[in-house]
Structure 1
């Protein structure tokens, strides 16, 4: 951490536990048997990418997705299936984020969408009594709000430019390798978080 003044965190798989297979299984249970072809962690078709950069409304997304489902599948069922990947916020990770705010400028950069944003903050309120994960950062940047998604260079550049961050003094932590590579090409220092490692291991005393 020598020379680091700013830290940019990914959300899913870094702070929020997620399980993509739960969403895939939920859609299979609804009869959407080609969901894996439509969406996965590393590739999504245009419908999902548009949702992640705010290029389509929630309603339009869900109605397009409904066309892939058998007759009788409702919009609320699709929302529940889409949100099934969102698990929990381990309290130790949230406590660590609070502590890091005393020593670093901290930011969030997440490829997410408005449906998931509402759902994971509702989960945070339900389980931790906290209204939004945004409060753990100087500022949170979501792809559906900034119009760019990782690994597009513009997604990182928005944070660097708005906050006048020196890339060499900035650390980016993500669990997806293409996102790490893109950040590194901008001069940002990086850590590729790989299970079973967590952010608690990175900031463990003596590291």
Structure 2
């Protein structure tokens, strides 16, 4: 049986640069404060946005109060979106080809309504997508919609249950070590997409050796 493919979004399908948002937010701060948002960890305000507990308006107000930001809604949104880079066409093409070969595919992403709206708009403009990244996948699971986020166990259980997948038959493609650790503990196979690995270079090799886990050393 072909392995099921569970993709992270940021750093896997879309390129991300957290430092761009940190710098943009710092420029808006009276005190030159840095927001508490990185790949490894983040403050509760960001968890609340990513699990749908607060609205974009409440998020913006939280940024202004918590980090002494003097900015309009549009300025805050622009700074928040600064981390979002490009979605390379070759990655979309690879996912499409794997689906045509018979792999079931899904996305499991910690994200928020602001970023999803921005990314979907870009995908519509660049690729003509009507439903964002969902156009190239069988199913999409966004933390803000299911009310759960990685690296918690529950969001993995939720996605596997909804897809009717077994963990051992699923390859999870992810760039964040803390999310990789949870997936491994739950029995998923993992492709840790740490730099300099990219989806298009590493995933074909990972599938070639499945169910063994792929590591950079395996490609040398």
Q: Per the shorter chain, which TM-score range?
A: over 0.9
- Check whether the contact 1:52–1:112 (CA below 8 A) recurs between aligned residues: yes
Map 1:40-55 onto structure 2 (within 5 A).
40-55=38-53
Distance 1:70 1:178, change over 3 A: closer
Task: Give the C-alpha shift of residue 202 in structure 1.
Answer: 2.2
- Check whether the contact 2:110–2:143 (CA below 8 A) recurs between aligned residues: yes
Distance 2:37 2:176 in 1: 15
Q: Deviations over 1:92-127 (max 9, x none)?
A: 000011111122110000000000010111111122
Q: Does 1:109 align with 2:105?
A: no
Q: Does 1:176 align with 2:176?
A: yes
Secondary structure at the aligned position of 1:34 is classed as coil
Distance 2:155 2:2 in 1: 20
Equivalent of residue 59 in structure 2, options 50, 58, 61: 61
Distance 1:70 1:162 in 2: 40
Distance 1:189 1:87 in 2: 28
Counterpart in the other structure of 2:216: none
Counterpart in the other structure of 1:26: 24
Distance 2:89 2:112 in 1: 23
- Check whether the contact 1:168–1:188 (CA below 8 A) recurs between aligned residues: yes
Equivalent of residue 72 in structure 2, options 71, 74, 86: 74
Task: Give the C-alpha shift of residue 35 in structure 1.
Answer: 2.1
Runs of 4+ in 1 over 4 A off after TM superposition: none
Task: Give the C-alpha shift of residue 70 in structure 1.
Answer: 4.1
Distance 1:90 1:100 in 2: 16
- Calculate the TM-score normalised by the size of structure 2: 0.87
Which ranges in structure 2 are unaligned for 5 or more consecutive residues? 209-220
Task: Give the C-alpha shift of residue 66 in structure 1.
Answer: 1.9
Counterpart in the other structure of 2:96: 98
Counterpart in the other structure of 2:119: 120
- State the number of aligned residues: 203
Counterpart in the other structure of 2:147: 147
- Check whether the contact 1:134–1:140 (CA below 8 A) recurs between aligned residues: yes
Counterpart in the other structure of 2:34: 35
- Check whether the contact 1:110–1:141 (CA below 8 A) recurs between aligned residues: yes
Counterpart in the other structure of 2:160: 160
Query: Aligned-residue CA RMSD in angstroms?
Result: 1.6
Secondary structure at the aligned position of 1:101 is classed as helix
Which ranges in structure 1 are unaligned for 5 or more consecutive residues? none
Task: Give the C-alpha shift of residue 34 in structure 1.
Answer: 2.2
